Amino acid sequence: MEKVYFSHDGAVDDFISLFLLLQMENVELIGVGAIGADSYVEPAVSVSRKIIDRFGHGAQLEVAQSNSRPAHPFPKEWRLDSYSENNLAILNEQTAIKTPLADKLAHEDLADKLMQSTEPVTLVMTGPLSDLARALKLQPAISTKIKRIVWMGGTFMEAGNVAEPDSDGTQEWNAFWDPEATKIVFDTDIPIEMVALESTINVPLTNSVRNSWAQQHEHVGLDFLANSYAFVPELNQFETNSTYYLWDVLTTCYFYDASLVQTKRVNCDVSITAPSDGRTFLKEDGRPVTLVHDVDNARFFQTIQKLAKRADD
């Protein structure tokens, strides 16, 4: 059993990541924190609690709400999906939510849960690193409790996925939302495994992916996947700024089965200077990270299906 704290930011693939983590046989989730980054924080927390209720196989968990604020906010159009997700029928079979809201803020909850753990904990993070940066400031001793950070964020390619007037286009969004936090975390010596845009570029959402889920929607987990991804646009003729990739789901599945991907060691740093603030870049004597740069597309989608079908039991 691997102990995991999951910090996410409430986009569609963050929610599916939580759903999949709850189906993994070798994972003990010890906490969940939600940031209103690629979402609004109330629906992000509410959806998380409902997913644990409906798909958690009885897991006794609580969900902590973040009050972290952005340097650069996400586009409202994307953030609104969290409200749609919160209204899905499958998450509203019951009127009262059982999984409690934690009484601490997400960064405090993260610090507490780490300090209480007797074993090292893996942090799976699919949003900005803000709450971890704040937890490290609040309680520096937590760094000894963290086994590794598995993070969706950053890129070492020329182009990132940010298209904003105050950016030079080199950043990945999670790093750009809070560049200072990214830098603080990268300046520690906690092991970082980075699922960057290099690897997620090979797993776009496509119509054939949607259809394979829809055709098996008699399985409640695949129905949930198909309905959740219905809110976001797939890759069609050409890529746009809104085209959806399976960023966070690849991160979660890589954590579950590292043989799905190729990794390499690189040394890097983080810019905190506009207009490239939040850019992760290679640097010869920089901090080492394990970079996921390729993925076996077919085995990845098989893994998602296998895990999703466990929601039937």
112 near ligand AGV, judged by CB under 6 A: no
Pick from ligand AGV, Ca ion, none: which does 78 bind, CB < 5 to 8 A by kind?
ligand AGV
The C-alpha atoms of residue 68 and residue 63 are separated, in whole angstroms, by: 15
172 near Ca ion, judged by CB under 5 A: no
Provide, rounded to whole angstroms, the least separation between the CB of residue 250 and Ca ion.
Answer: 11
The CA–CA distances, whole Å, from 23 to 3, 175, 253 equal: 14, 28, 11
Q: Are 253 and 128 in contact (CB under 8 A)?
A: no
For ligand AGV, the binding residues in 216-245 under the rule CB under 6 A are: 242, 244
Looking at residue 191, what DSSP letter applies?
-
303 near ligand AGV, judged by CB under 6 A: no
Burial of 133 from C-beta contacts in 10 A (0-12 / 13-18 / 19+): buried
126 near Ca ion, judged by CB under 5 A: yes
109 near ligand AGV, judged by CB under 6 A: no
132 near Ca ion, judged by CB under 5 A: no
The C-alpha atoms of residue 173 and residue 2 are separated, in whole angstroms, by: 28
The residue with tokens 């909850």 is 109
Beta bridge partners of 31: 5
Q: What is the per-residue binding string for ligand AGV in 123-162, x denoting contact by CB under 6 A?
A: ---xx------------------------x--------x-
Provide, rounded to whole angstroms, the least separation between the CB of residue 198 and ligand AGV.
Answer: 12
Q: What is the per-residue binding string for Ca ion in 9-28, x denoting contact by CB under 5 A?
A: x-x--x--------------
Sheet with 261-270, side-by-side order of all strands: 101-105, 63-65, 27-34, 2-8, 121-125, 146-152, 192-195, 287-295, 261-270, 280-282
Among 213, 224, 229, 247, binds ligand AGV (CB under 6 A): 247
85 near ligand AGV, judged by CB under 6 A: no
Angle at 155 between CA 153 and CA 157, to 5 degrees: 165
What is the total count of residues that contact Ca ion (CB under 5 A)?
6
Q: What is the per-residue binding string for ligand AGV in 156-185, x denoting contact by CB under 6 A?
A: -----x----------xxx-----------
Task: Tell me the backbone φ, ψ of residue 291, rounded to 5 degrees.
Answer: -105, 125
Q: Which residues are near Ca ion by CB under 5 A? A: 9, 11, 14, 126-127, 248
Q: Which residues are near ligand AGV by CB under 6 A? A: 11, 13-14, 38, 78, 126-127, 152, 161, 172-174, 242, 244, 247-248
